[in-house]
Structure 1
Amino acid sequence: MTLIQMRYFAEVCHWQNITKAAEQLHVSQPTISVALRALEEETELQLFQREGRKLMLTSDGGRLLGKVTHILEQMRQLEEDVHAMAHHRNLIRMALPLQLGTQFLPKILGEFHHLHPELELDIIESGGISALQMIEEEKLDIALTNYETGSNPKLDYEQLSTCEICFVTYPEHPLAGRESVSCEDLAEEPLVMLDSSFLVYQEIHELYARHNKQPRVMHYSPYLHTIKNLVRHQLGSTFLARPAILPDDHLAVVSLTEPILLKSGIITKKGRPLYADDKVLIHYLQDITRKL
């Protein structure tokens, strides 16, 4: 069984159609048909059965596809690693969650780009939980994010700072002038919150659960600006990491009587090599964190 046969097989499985697979692979339909027949003869397995215009996998075909997909992913990673060893990684895929992005993104897009114009950054703004998952799945190279104390053993963590989760509301709110608020104070508070891809979601739900309460969440959103706008319009209050609130947001930030501190730092995949360009970005992030 050759890699070419595996690629043809996987593409036909994806489209369930030889014509479409041929278009995507830029080869002729007969070429794919011959390769699939040869694959079935070599494996002595019936891999497909035809249903109308579609080619449907048999149970044997499904099992083979699982193994082929794994091999093709390993080959893709090998090709990427070999290329990176021969060249600097000029494209760095990075996660920068929204709550930290308010501080870091202007510097990265401004000063860092000016200092290192040869480096291209593909920055994804996501929640911390999503960022860690994408690092583990090697869809990203680096994440600068908040994370929990219970760390994933498949990832490497370099803590840069800690940040506090706070109660955030509009200036006219009765609790806006308080130094701190408790879970009891907020038991009936209408809330708008970042969704479950963010660590703040998990931490706040755990806080309420410890007090046998449930947060009154009116709306979840993955967008920080949406949450801030809803609070400004007095449609609810929220919880955010303190760095997410800027002076021109004109929002009131109140500490919790039971402090919730998140670690913030640089996350990479354990065992995956860091290349010269990755290290340039990491050193820059370390430097600007010290200056904040």
Structure 2
Amino acid sequence: MTIQQMTYFEAVGRYQNITRAADELHIAQPTLSLAMQTLEQETGLNLLRHVGRGIVLTADGQALYAEVARMLKEVARFDSHVAELARRHQDLRLALPMQVGTVLMPLLLGQFRKAHPEIRLDIIEASGTASLDLVEHEEADVAVVHDGLPRLALTARHLPPWPFCLCVRRDHPLAARTQVSFDEAAAQPLVLLDDSYTITRRLHDIAAKAGRTLDVLHYTPHLSTIWNLVTRGIACGIITGSAVLPESALTAIPIDGLVQHPAVFTKTGRQMTQDQRTLIAFLKEAFPAAPTA
């Protein structure tokens, strides 16, 4: 007997009325009658006896009904246990590169934590490539990365693009501009993230195609170093717009035509928990609202 057959028979046996059982099961009466006939044929038992316009269970029907009712209780208990396992909250591991984390970290530890105190969020700061590696090796559940290269092992859910920006002091001659060209940005003395970051590799590719050489004074793995050197007027930076906070002494000027394409990455083929779905929904809603200047 299938679970569906047991469910149908239990309702018929409990009501001893095809019409009422069919109503509860939300199926047509002829469909339920045919299901009972099929069940009798498959079991080789006479389970129901017609009395007038009603039906009653035969002795075999009563014996089978008792077994079916017990079995369905066990199925319900099993389903409840599986549902409870799915609801259990474990540490949700999120990998973020620094540029993304600059704006998302306050949102995650502020708004998200307040809205979902039941979700234990473990944030891992790593470069974009390392963040993707963590998800692929199942050492992180989710990553948010700019310009992550496609991987068969990962599924990407794309977010709105963010601009490459020239990061300057607020008293810099270009600070009042709403946009600069790549040539204008490339003409500045620069401090950049090191080449483990996608944005730096892309900048050198763009410069090479344009026949330019970037005047890079220093490469660093730390945003704080970029902010420090730019604040002191020693160099300008080229970073994602999200990496400059509005309240800082710096401003981020979008570079014409240059954008990064962020995405939320998860492991392909792995079932997502409800906590992961909640986090991804939050990221999709929060990301477009993140400040870019």
TM-score by length of 1: 0.64
Measure the CA separation in 1 of the matches of 2:138 and 2:234. Answer: 39
Counterpart residue number, 2:63:
none
- Which residue identity is paired with 1:154? A
Q: Deviations over 1:101-122 (max 9, x none)?
A: 2322112112222233232221
- Which residue identity is paired with 1:159? H
Counterpart residue number, 2:167:
168
Counterpart residue number, 2:104:
104
Q: Deviations over 1:235-285 (max 9, x none)?
A: 21111111222221121322323x111112211111122122222222222
Counterpart residue number, 1:75:
none
Measure the CA separation in 2 of the matches of 1:134 and 1:146. Answer: 15
Residue ranges of structure 2 left out of the alignment (5+ in a row):
1-83
Measure the CA separation in 2 of the matches of 1:160 and 1:267. Answer: 11
Q: Deviations over 1:173-198 (max 9, x none)?
A: 33333443334334442211112232
Measure the CA separation in 2 of the matches of 1:196 and 1:234. Answer: 23
Matches within 5 A, 1:29-178: 88-148=88-148, 150-178=149-177
Residue 123 of structure 1: SS of its match in structure 2? Answer: strand
1:276/1:255 CA distance change after superposition, 3 Å? closer
1:155·1:268 contact (CA, 8 Å) conserved in 2?
Answer: yes
Q: Deviations over 1:26-70 (max 9, x none)?
A: xxxxxxxxxxxxxxxxxxxxxxxxxxxxxxxxxxxxxxxxxxxxx
Residue ranges of structure 1 left out of the alignment (5+ in a row):
1-83
1:107/1:183 CA distance change after superposition, 3 Å? closer
Larger Rg: 2
Counterpart residue number, 1:15:
none
Counterpart residue number, 1:265:
263
Counterpart residue number, 1:237:
236
Measure the CA separation in 2 of the matches of 1:227 and 1:272. Answer: 38
How far 1:202 moved relative to its partner? 1.5
1:186/1:86 CA distance change after superposition, 3 Å? closer
Corresponding residue to 2:283 among 267, 282, 285: 285
Pick which of 261-270 and 96-105 moved more: 96-105
Pick which of 153-162 and 165-174 moved more: 165-174
Measure the CA separation in 2 of the matches of 1:162 and 1:233. Answer: 30
- Which residue identity is paired with 2:184? D
Measure the CA separation in 1 of the matches of 2:138 and 2:195. Answer: 21
Measure the CA separation in 2 of the matches of 1:260 and 1:194. Answer: 17
Measure the CA separation in 2 of the matches of 1:197 and 1:95. Answer: 16
What percent of counterpart residues are identical? 32
Measure the CA separation in 2 of the matches of 1:186 and 1:266. Answer: 29
2:145·2:264 contact (CA, 8 Å) conserved in 1?
Answer: yes
State yes or no: 1:206 paired with 2:205: yes
How far 1:290 moved relative to its partner? 5.4
Measure the CA separation in 2 of the matches of 1:290 and 1:184. Answer: 28
2:159·2:264 contact (CA, 8 Å) conserved in 1?
Answer: yes
Counterpart residue number, 1:227:
226
2:185·2:255 contact (CA, 8 Å) conserved in 1?
Answer: no
Number of aligned residue pairs: 208
How far 1:97 moved relative to its partner? 2.0
Residue 140 of structure 1: SS of its match in structure 2? Answer: coil
TM-score by length of 2: 0.64
Measure the CA separation in 2 of the matches of 1:182 and 1:285. Answer: 30
